[in-house]
Structures are given as structure tokens and as C-alpha cells.
Structure 1
Amino acid sequence: MSGRTDSDVRPGIAEVAETAEVDDMDDTGDMDDADDVADHAEDARRARWVATGTGVLLTLAGLAAALLRLTGSKPVVVPAAYAVGAGVCALAAVLGARGRTRRALWLLVAGTMIMALGDQFD
């Protein structure tokens, strides 16, 4: 190192930098960051739809099971567990629609586990 602060970039490094910039461009000469952003937006939209749809489906299934168990001669804890699990899944559907898909996933797991626990008392 010579200590000079005004020295130019070595020719080999400049060529590598120019090649890297050209590789990131698409056919029109624009950077393909817009495509990456569009892909991420589509993935996020799909995740929201999946979280919301799964939450609604599990909520309806839990409510139907709670109503079916309520009409039978089962302990009260069984339909209550199904109803609570359905409520947790409904909350997961709301969070999924708002974009909180990780939290929605964990709430869906918890709601399903609560319903399964209620089924064990059956």
C-alpha cells in the first residue's frame, strides 16, 4: 500500500465491477430488481391468502365439530375445546389477512392442538 488516497482503481478490479453490473441487467438495460420486488410481493400475497383461507377453513371445521359435540351426551369440555380452538383459528385468519403470516401459522397450530386436546376428552 502506497498510502496515496487519490489513486485509481486497478484495471482488473474495474473490469470485474463492470461485468457484475452487466450481469444484473435484463435485456432492456434496466436492473431486474423490479422483477424481484414483484416476485416477493406475489409470494407475500399468496402467503396471506393461504393463511386466511386455512384459518377460515379450520374455524368452520372447529365450529361444526363443537356444534355436533354439543348435541351429544359428551362432557362440556369437548365442545368448549373445539370452540376455543376455532376462536384461535379465527384470530389466525384475521392476522393472516393483515400480513402477519408467521404469527398466523403458529396460531393455526395452537388452535388445531387445542381442538385435538378436546378430542382426547371425547
Structure 2
Amino acid sequence: MSGRTDSVAGPTEAEEAERTEPVVQDEEDEGHEGDVEDTDFYDEAGRARRLATGTGALLTLAGVAAALLRLTGPAPALVPTAYATGAAVCAAAALLGARGRTRRALWLLIAGSMIMALGDQFD
């Protein structure tokens, strides 16, 4: 015969203890584990919405102000047009951000800022 002679056939002591102990669940903790994660997710999503909307509105106001200032000066007509176009793109980003499309809003904010920067290069 090969093998250990002190081995016991059957379940180990830990398995036996698991089978005999009753499983008690706290009613207070039941089903509330995911609520904390859900709340954090909604807080982050709301924060992203507010940030995209606020940034879009701020860049829109800055673009409109720059377009009006450049329109009254001796700058070529392309410069205020670029600022106004960039401001319009940022306004669209603010609307998308308010609706929860924060990734698209981010890309539109980048595009609007680049359009305004391009208009500044023509000055």
C-alpha cells in the first residue's frame, strides 16, 4: 500500500464546520453594497456634466467677446469669423455637456478652442 496512513477519508474539519454553522445575514447590510458605488458614479457623472457645461459657456463668452473686440479693430474679417465660429462650437459643446454627452462635449471644446487659436494666428 502506498500513501499516507494518517489520512482521513471524508470532509475536512473546515468543510464540516461550514456545513453545520447556520448562515446569518444582516438585514441592514443586505443589498446596500452597490448603493455606495452607484452614488459615487452619479456624483461623478453630474460633476462631469456641470464641468462640461460651465467650460463650454465660459469659452463661448470668451469667443464672442474676442470676436466683438476684433470686429471693431483693424483685424482682417477672417479673425472675428474664426472667433465667432469657435464660440458657436463651444456653445454646442455646452449643450451636449448639459445633456450628458461629456466625451463629445470635450472634443467639441478642443475643436472650438483650436478654431479660435487659428483665428488668432491670422491676426
What TM-score, normalized by structure 1, do the two folds share?
A: 0.78
Partner of 1:61: 62
Secondary structure of 1:68's match?
A: helix
Q: Deviations over 1:31-59 (max 9, x none)?
A: 41011111100000000000000000000
Counterpart-to-counterpart distance in 1, 2:96 and 2:122: 29
Counterpart-to-counterpart distance in 1, 2:115 and 2:96: 18
Counterpart-to-counterpart distance in 2, 1:29 and 1:62: 52
The CA RMSD measured in Å over matched residues stands at 2.1
The structure 1 segments of at least 4 consecutive aligned residues displaced by more than 3 Å after TM superposition are none
Aligned residues: 102
| Paired letter, 1:103 | R
Q: Deviation of residue 28 (structure 1)?
A: 3.3
Partner of 1:90: 91
Secondary structure of 2:41's match?
A: helix
Sequence identity (%): 63
Counterpart-to-counterpart distance in 2, 1:104 and 1:51: 7
Q: Which has the larger radius of gyration?
A: 2
Counterpart-to-counterpart distance in 2, 1:112 and 1:32: 42
Partner of 1:103: 104
Secondary structure of 1:35's match?
A: helix
Counterpart-to-counterpart distance in 1, 2:106 and 2:92: 11
Counterpart-to-counterpart distance in 1, 2:51 and 2:33: 27
What TM-score, normalized by structure 2, do the two folds share?
A: 0.77
Partner of 1:42: 43
Tell me whether 1:114 sits opposite 2:115 in the alignment: yes
Counterpart-to-counterpart distance in 2, 1:62 and 1:32: 46
